[in-house]
Structure 1
Amino acid sequence: MMENNPEKSQRTKHEFSADRPISSIEEDLLGRAPFAKSLASAIKGWQGNESLVVAMYGPWGSGKSSVKNMVLQTLRLAETNCPLIIEFNPWQWSGQDQLAEAFFQEIGLLLGRSDGSEDGKRRAAKWRTYGTYLTLGASLAKSLKTILPILGLPGSGIADMLSKGMEQSATVAQEGSKGVEDQAVVQQQTLAEIKKELSDSLKELERPILVVLDDIDRLTPEEIRLLFQLVKANADFPNVVYLLLFQRDIVERSLDSSPAVSGQEFLEKIVQVGFDIPRIERTRLEKVLFAGLDELLTDGDVGKRFDQTRWGNLFLGGLRPYFQTLRDVYRYLASLSFHVSLFRSTGSFEVNPVDLIALEVLRVFEPVVYRRLPEAKLELTNLRDRAHDSHDENERTRKLIESIVEAASQPGQVREIVKELFPPVEWVFNGSMYGHDFKEEWFRELRLCHPDVFDRYFHLAIPEGDISQAELDRVLSLVGNREGLVVEFRALNKRSLLGVALDRLEAYKQKIDLQHAVSFITALFDIGDELPEDRGGFFSISPDTHASRIIYWYLKQEMDIGRRGAILKEAMKATTGLYLPIRIASLEGNEEKRKKDPDAFNVTDADLDALHHICVEKIEQAAGSGILTSHRNMLSILYCWDKWASHEKPRQWVEKLIDSKEGVLSFLTACLHRSTSHGMGDYVSQEHWRINLTNIEDFVPVGTLERKVAEISPDGLSDKEKSAVKAFQKAIKRRRDGKPDDGHWADDEDEG
């Protein structure tokens, strides 16, 4: 339960962090642990006479450091062959002089700590001497012309840079060389001789050295070039493995300093094995997002104004592309968490939750657009009759709104968000206009587009399972085979993967050939009654919504509206399914939207009447056969029957149904409404079951049902049946106490 306690709300901690990488496999939310374990296994198994240079590529925020931490955890937990690990973050060392010195110093310290024997001390001393020789510069190493061929480095451009860097660090390096056991410098030993001795010594290591270099792309271009030259200089030592983490294009541009050798070519000469960070599975990423949204916003007051259809349209049409990395999700949730606490501080939720979610996306990801919205309040919220406005006034408004959209990093997405948030300016994009009769409704819903609510907004993450591409390809290969596709859908459903399959299938909804229209849509209708029940929070996209969207957009490919109607009629007549055809017919029958935007619908008015007739026949067959008796969507089907046929038939059917105990329980269960809430600090949501007596009396007198419920013994009832009886009894008491039927669920929590 989300508590409406102002003081407690103000104390809420905002613990999301956009920049903190995970530290262990146990924290992995994105399924990258297998990749990290495989990479650790490859590093652990490396046995070579030269160094191994491994690179992990990925943009900022893609999770490179998190994968690195899982790799190192795996290595450290290994019973055998765990390398000596040195994590060297070059970003912590400012300046080329410190960077070069620190590189050798840190590795030398590891060698000294890992082996206290005389051989170990000599090996560490050789390493320090070698580092001193490289960092002293041209005066100590005789000349760069001697050093560069030994290191295998390119010509004069890099020589100039190395010379400058070495000269800057010469003083520090000279002081650091005092007391070094190996007096090779004094003895005028050549760099090649020192390197040969050090190489022989490193071969004797029982465990290899793993040097991890993270945040390379945060360095200056000069520091990046120096760092890669240091790696290059040491890339032929045995028992040394480098793991480099960086954004590839940034590093390539920094290395692209010579006309003779491009940054890409130079990088390829150094890195032997390169990996792109595994792409994030959208289902896992959205699960984290949806869980965070549920925890922040699933409150009773929020639920009263949460429109699932608006949320689905906004997320799928406008918001989804902004969430590409876990950093995007955490950064967004951290900001949203703060603003939710402000809007909840009065004891009520002061804004519309769907509008807040969308506006927060603009605040976080499109700050230029967000900052321009308040200055355009009049244009965004004014329901003036544009037909009576001057041409110049309308053009000024149009240009202002379009300029706001074009200022976005993703104009197409912002256009969809603005259209949904601000219906008064929808005419700018498609000519549709709203009348003043919507204004009161927008105020009741605390919508951003109402001028009296607007200022409030500015005055301050699916199931674990997934399907493979091969399985999705198999579904697509069966679109012309109704029976085969139904079998495949049911097989996926047994593995709890049907909802995921429909989510993925949305990407292909306008790519499937229309020649398969009847068989494909009929198969979807066939499994409509078997779709998994949506048990997520407010923010999950339900499987039947995915199925409906697939059918809608798939049919939109057919330009002939008469042909679209014919396809739907044929599929509805042929299907064995009940609920999905009724849902499609109901969506097509939204009278308000049909008047406003008839082109948005798939069938004509005449075909819509035919679809209703087909559905009524199917409902009456289901009522006669007993299928409707146990259907989980019984209530919504009864309302469609009432609307499309007559008031009497569904009432007569319900009266006959409740003649038996089983029928009473079935009807009550169908009237149950589920909601969830989170307590402050809770990780698990709480379920609440309600029955609205208005739904009951639309089909049967409440008193009649009350007498029948009183005769039912609780013994032997299922948990859901007990919940239904309890919810009904609470609803009766709520009405007798003078409380509204649709009041807050917490009003009757103490009634036992």
Structure 2
Amino acid sequence: MAWFRRAKTSDERTAIGAGRRRSTAHGNLYADDPVDAGQDRLDRGRLADQLTRSVVAVSEQSDSAVVALVGPWGSGKSSLLLGIEERLRTGGWYLARHNPWMYSSYDSAVAGFFAEIRDAVPDEVMGPDRRQTLSEWVDRLAPAGAIGSLAGVDATGVVTATAALIKGDRSPERLRKSTAEALAALDQPLLVILDDLDRLQPDELLLTFKLVRLIGRLPNLYYLLAYDEETLSEVLQHTQLIGADPGRARQYLEKMVQVRLDIPPLLEDQRIGLVDQGIDGICAAHGIQLGPADQERLGAAWSDCLVLYLDQPRAVKRLFTQVDAFWLEVDGEVDFVDFLLMTFLRTFERDVYDLVVDSRVELLGSTLSASRGTETNAERWNRWKQLISEQGRPRHPDGIAALLAVLFLYLRGAQENSSYSSEFREDVRRRRGVDSEEFFDRYIQAGVPAGDLPDKLVAAAAAELRNDEAGPALEQFQAWLDKDAAKAVQKLSRAEEQEPLPADSALALLGRNYLASAQQRSGFFALSADRQVLRTALRIFDREGAANIGTLAARGPSELALAADLLRKAKRNASTARHEWLADATGVVSAALEAHLRAASTRKLHKASDIARYAYAFRDLRGRESAHTLLWELLESPEWTLEDLLATLVPVGQTSNGRRTWQTLGDLETGNVDELLGLERVLAALPETGTEDADESDVSFENRRRLALRTMERLRAGRGDPAEEQRAT
């Protein structure tokens, strides 16, 4: 697809997003096996053919030689060796693999080396005489004990106890000559492959080279060494033989190797194709679809940073195996592009990743120190580039800084000398980006933290609502409503925005939890839960009309409170034209409020002390005169008294000193008394009892009554003073 290299048209981006659904060679990124011709994006088949022809050409011009396959770490040397090995075996070569890191001494390495040669040549070709010659020469080169103690090597196949007793005058030189004659008589050449030499310790490397040089030029015996030249040179410089001399290390390698085969660097199209294949594979495996905005951010990250790091096949595999391994933990909970880029940071530049985690508060823009309040964009950008260079010490500091600007608006604004509005932050939140306080922890925890509500659970609960099911997801969601209603309702509201929920089911859920959620005053992002419920319910009624309002109001006290507050909120809006359902709903809800108040008048008020909520709502919907008429009528009930009704109008609040929180009584607002009952009528109806002062820390119903009566008495006593009367009213 080569989607990194240039800006795409709208049609192209759509095609790319659709293309990500197809199945690709996902598994090929996680193994070093030779790739099929149809999946060979790196043209490794052609390269393996060329290298194989070079090895064959060397064998045609020399009885023995050391050939080197040279390439940086991760360039695909092991995969190429497998391809060469496969082709040579098909061409009739005998192949042996010597793993020098398996041996701790020269003696055991010699034994292992010849054991591998023995196993590579069939018995019928080698013959017992040639095998005996090999055994005797091995015994001269290394003690039999080293062979017998070698793990995984059958000593009897290499040297026997009797072979340890050398008879006659068969000197090491005679044995070497006989061994050469035995190998020369083979019908096909034998190639010994030594991979990953750059992973050996200095003494192990010299031991291996000693083995190659000593046994060396035997006919029909060829070596293919694979290594990263830069690393191997550094290892050699840690030996006493070479010392800290790069030139001497290079000369040493030149003497060891007769023919050098270099893996060419990846072409730009190959690198892009390999990365594209990795993204395609993961998207296809996990059902991920990338849109135009995703493509744009990926393209920016590639050109600014990833291109500097993903320069070898192993680097690409390393990234995408990490992404693939952890994606299931966050699928549906984070943004895929941001997760890929944060995984890149964690994998390739862990120090910078830790710097991002430690700088969370600043990057997310939650708060800034006073000293940075006057910092210019240029100063901020330079400061962060310095932080990255000093604390992270990345291989490519400018590229990493640019990558962080892709991830965080705070740094992008500094880089571009611009600012981003709240709409951009809302876009980040909507796609669950790392640059959101709500989702940041999911990226660094590789999953949803224990205190966070999974979006998958919300989606499952919404699906059960749509299917009219009372399933396990709704049960778990209800537990979240009980614990953190603001967070739960906010996430449900977002699900409702994306795909509308059935009005009746959604309103029933919101309604039965409304009064309980209103008590949770420290909700998500400091938003109280009842505000979240009202916003969501209002959107539903604006979409569906007033058809469900009667059903909602009749369900119970909590649902009635939601219906009433919903209408009060709609009436307060500057423009009621958008709430076309309001006029029809007002009569229905006010009738339900009246019915609720009449039913409450059959019980003592202290058992229904929240009656003030419904009385205020009735006044707001029907007006003060209707409220006066209804409430004075209800006060004729033998269960209600004016003193108790006034007590219900005394608010109960919370006070905190930072260490603990407790309930206290607020002031009785005489203006509210006038709105509900008429102040003059209340004063005329109340007897003068000389009530004592109330204790504001006592929130009992009896003390609320005392405070209400004491407020009325003070009002009555001060009515001769105009200033006092104005203050009281």
TM-score w.r.t. structure 1 length? 0.49
Q: Which has the larger radius of gyration?
A: 2
Q: Which has the higher contact order (CA 8 A, sep 6+)?
A: 1
TM-score w.r.t. structure 2 length? 0.50
